[in-house]
């Protein structure tokens, strides 16, 4: 008969819910009086990096790398290229990359011939990178820090690849900052569960369900005391002529430059 373990590693459901409800995206961090980053204690940094490396991975390959940004000049340039100033002021800042170069090197050193699988590289490389970064951020939050995923690396991919000397097979996915919060970020809503968690088959959602989801999400787009309009915010990013369309050519070019493009020329 299985015995239920009751040691300190296990938490009650309400404790787990409270931990994740406490998550915030934070861009303003506690600093020294002169505005320079407040470093993490060595043991805190060590354990969050340990957590990152304990992330799951496909086929044992660990197809990711984290570029830790420490020099002020490098931080400043990546902050400028990504249009996210808090990269320069956070206690810790990383660029989270899909990385298939290392596994190729392992095969080469072993006298084996690496295969050609650029679509697989993107699929599993980004998956591994996200899992490692999520582990890192979750561990940081367990220690009382907060952080921010930064998709703005797409605003300056070429420059970031140059700045960080990323070889072929390594592609920036996002930046990630952490530190002690110096702002009270609001609780952000999420799309209702029935449109996100599907049972046995995909459920597209009726028009009424989509309208309800939009109403639930509207507060996430509130700015300056004005009520939010989530559809308007999504249009800015994903609508015709929006930010994602503008980013698309640079991402395609970076995939080609890094040897990760599997489409037609």
Percentage of the residues of the chain whose pLDDT score is greater than 90: 92
Other beta carbons less than 10 A from residue 56's beta carbon: 10
Calpha distance 129→229 (Å, rounded): 32
Encoded tokens for 222: 């509130």
Reported confidence tier of residue 264, pLDDT bands at 50, 70, 90: confident
- Statement: residue 6 has pLDDT above 60: no
- Statement: residue 2 has pLDDT above 90: no
Domain 22-185+250-257: which topology? NADH Oxidase (3.40.109)
| Beta carbons within 8 Å of 136's beta carbon, 6+ residues apart | 48, 49, 51, 52, 66, 94, 176, 178
The per-residue DSSP string of 187-203 comes to: PPP---GGGTS-SSS--
Q: What is the pLDDT of residue 48?
A: 98
Tens digits of per-residue pLDDT, 137-147? 999 999 999 99
The residue extents of the domains of the chain are: 22-185+250-257
- Statement: residue 163 has pLDDT above 80: yes
- Statement: residue 110 has pLDDT above 90: yes
H helix intervals, 113-154: 118-142
Q: In what order do the strands lie in the sheet with 146-150?
A: 64-69, 92-99, 170-179, 146-150
Average pLDDT over residues 212-223: 95
Average pLDDT over residues 148-172: 98
Could you say which DSSP state residue 53 is in?
H
Average pLDDT over residues 165-182: 98
Task: Classify 57 as helix, strand or coil.
Answer: coil
Q: What is the pLDDT of residue 224?
A: 80
Tens digits of per-residue pLDDT, 57-93? 999 999 999 999 999 999 999 999 999 999 999 999 9
Q: What is the pLDDT of residue 226?
A: 81
Q: What is the pLDDT of residue 179?
A: 98
Percentage of the residues of the chain whose pLDDT score is greater than 70: 97
Reported confidence tier of residue 8, pLDDT bands at 50, 70, 90: low
Encoded tokens for 238: 């994903």
- Statement: residue 4 has pLDDT above 80: no
Is the separation of the CB atoms in 185 and 24 below 8 Å?
yes
- Statement: residue 7 has pLDDT above 80: no
- Statement: residue 5 has pLDDT above 50: no
């Amino acid at each position: 008969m299985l015995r239920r373990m009751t040691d300190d590693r296990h938490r009650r459901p309400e404790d787990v819910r409270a931990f994740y409800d406490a998550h915030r995206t934070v861009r303003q961090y506690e600093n020294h009086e002169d505005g320079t980053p407040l470093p993490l204690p060595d043991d805190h940094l060590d354990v969050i990096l340990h957590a990152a490396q304990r992330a799951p991975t496909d086929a044992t390959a660990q197809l990711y790398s984290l570029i830790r940004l420490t020099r002020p000049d490098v931080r400043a340039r990546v902050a400028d290229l990504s249009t996210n100033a808090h990269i320069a002021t956070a206690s810790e800042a990383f660029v989270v990359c899909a990385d298939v170069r290392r596994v190729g090197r392992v095969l080469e050193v072993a006298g084996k011939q690496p295969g050609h699988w650029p679509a697989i590289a993107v699929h599993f490389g980004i998956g591994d990178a996200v899992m490692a970064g999520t582990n890192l951020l979750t561990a940081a939050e367990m220690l009382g820090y907060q952080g921010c995923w930064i998709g703005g690396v797409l605003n300056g991919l070429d420059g970031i690849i140059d700045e960080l000397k990323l070889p072929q097979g390594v592609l920036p996915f996002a930046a990630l900052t952490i530190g002690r919060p110096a702002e009270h970020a609001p609780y952000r809503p999420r799309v209702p569960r029935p449109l996100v968690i599907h049972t046995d088959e995909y459920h597209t959602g009726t028009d009424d369900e989509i309208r309800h989801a939009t109403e639930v999400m509207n507060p996430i787009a509130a700015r300056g005391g004005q009520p939010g309009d989530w559809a308007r915010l999504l249009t800015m990013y994903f609508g015709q002529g929006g930010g994602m369309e503008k980013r698309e050519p640079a991402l395609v070019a970076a995939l080609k430059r890094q040897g990760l493009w599997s489409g037609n020329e």
